[in-house]
Structure 1
Amino acid sequence: MTLHYAGPKPLISAHGIKFDPNKEDKFIYFGFVVELIKALDHEYLEDKPYVATVTYSSHDAHNIFSLMQKYDPLLNETITERENTIQSEIDDEIKRAEENCLLCEEDRDVLIKNLELLRNYRIPRSINKTVYYSGITTLAKIIHDRKISYIKAPILRIHSHVFHSIQGVLRKLHPPMDSNLEIIEEGGHLHVRLQMNSF
């Protein structure tokens, strides 16, 4: 399995293809997710804060995938299931386009060609999303098992996005974990902090 950046979410219609810059490929978050996993998964002394320096450049796609597999032994199966699902979804979209009576023949043909053209674009995006949420689930489990009270990072879009995703998965744990995402100032710099309320 080779992970790679696919690009933003495509918006496909009978009139063309647009890309939504607000729906970025999850691949861009992999470096931070991996760094968080490595920084958080260790033994802790009670009431002692830990600081980790995050460096994104040290991970290639192969290393990222290997680390994710280590924490999620079923990742390959999940990816295969997701790939089959997205293939079926695209096939269904094409079938619906073929049966769409509201479109003229020319528009129908354009829509079908656009859906088919973007098939190999959408599949890697879907796989990246699957790998991303595998990493986020791993982080939520580490936070729960290690009883981590908070995580803080400089306020960057990547950090905020990953923390927000972790917060969503924490809510789905059994029992759910309550948390707050907040912006704080320290030493004249803004940080985003994910505060766990259960510990």
Structure 2
Amino acid sequence: MKLKYVGAKPKVSGRGVSFDQSKPDRYTFLNAAIELLEALSLASPKDKKVHLKDARGKELSSSELMDLLEKYCANPQEIFESLEEKTNALLEKYTNRVKENDTINADERRAWLGNIKIMRDYYMQYITNESAYQCTLNALADKLHELKIEEVTFPIGRNHGLVLSHLIDVLRDHKPPYDATLHVEPQDGETFGKLDMNRAIPVDI
């Protein structure tokens, strides 16, 4: 498995291929997610409030990102072993939709199915990057829980805010779950984001 930028999720039709900019390549956020993990790994066990004012490092190469994923994520190779299966399942779903579409003619159906086939490698890389990013978000959630962090302050920029906004959904599904919130506030003439872990959500037994 290799990590590399591929672009937004493709939208395939019988007329060609376009890209859904509302579903960007998760590779875009991997660098910022890894920076947050690296910063948390340096936090003192006594610190319940972490201020990531210096989380503005260099752009990591694909191989460096992969090395750090293997450092922080639990069983990353196990997660990526199913990439072929995930890609095949997605393409089968798209293929069946086209075959069952009775509003298109035979030529458009043939072209549509051909475009899906052509984009297979692209879809696989998109899913690879998505799986790597999800692995990183889970590692962030585990680290925040392990350190009993109550608050994370971070500089606006370099996608840290977007990563932590994605993390909120992961924290809600975490064991135990957290009702985390995210907001922006000024500090010393600068604007910072703040992730408030709040308290764990009660779970009915």
TM-score by shorter chain over 0.5: yes
CA distance in 2, matches of 1:98, 1:20: 22
CA contact 1:183–1:190 (8 Å) conserved in 2: yes
CA distance in 1, matches of 2:194, 2:19: 31
User: Tell me, which stretches of 5 or more residues in structure 2 are unaligned?
Assistant: 201-205
Q: What is the CA distance between 1:72 and its match in structure 2?
A: 2.5
Q: Choose 62-71 or 103-112, whichever is displaced more.
A: 62-71
Q: For 1:38-53, what aligned pairs fall within 5 Å after superposition?
A: 38-42=38-42, 43-46=44-47, 50-51=51-52, 53=54
Q: Which residue of 2 aligns with 1:2?
A: 2
Q: Choose 34-43 or 107-116, whichever is displaced more.
A: 34-43
CA distance in 1, matches of 2:153, 2:120: 38
Q: What is the CA distance between 1:24 and its match in structure 2?
A: 1.0
Q: What is the CA distance between 1:16 and its match in structure 2?
A: 2.2
TM-score by length of 2: 0.87
Name the SS of the counterpart of 1:194 in structure 2. Answer: strand
Q: Which residue of 2 aligns with 1:80?
A: 81
Q: Which residue of 2 aligns with 1:185?
A: 186
CA distance in 1, matches of 2:40, 2:192: 18
Q: What is the CA distance between 1:74 and its match in structure 2?
A: 2.0
Q: What is the CA distance between 1:105 and its match in structure 2?
A: 0.9
Q: Percent of pairs identical after alignment?
A: 26
User: Tell me, which stretches of 5 or more residues in structure 1 are unaligned?
Assistant: none
CA contact 1:83–1:126 (8 Å) conserved in 2: no
CA contact 2:50–2:149 (8 Å) conserved in 1: no
Higher relative contact order at CA 8 Å, sep ≥6: structure 1 or structure 2? Answer: 2
Q: What do the CA deviations read for 1:64-110 (whole angstroms, capped 9, x no partner)?
A: 11211222342112112133122222034224423433310111011
Q: Choose 88-97 or 4-13, whichever is displaced more.
A: 88-97
Q: 1:20 to 1:109 in 2, by over 3 A?
A: same
Q: Which residue of 2 aligns with 1:62?
A: 63
Q: How many residues align?
A: 199
Q: Which residue of 2 aligns with 1:36?
A: 36
TM-score by length of 1: 0.90
Between Structure 1 and Structure 2, the one with more helix by share is 1
CA distance in 2, matches of 1:196, 1:104: 53
CA distance in 1, matches of 2:35, 2:158: 16
Q: 1:89 to 1:51 in 2, by over 3 A?
A: closer
Q: Which residue of 2 aligns with 1:17?
A: 17
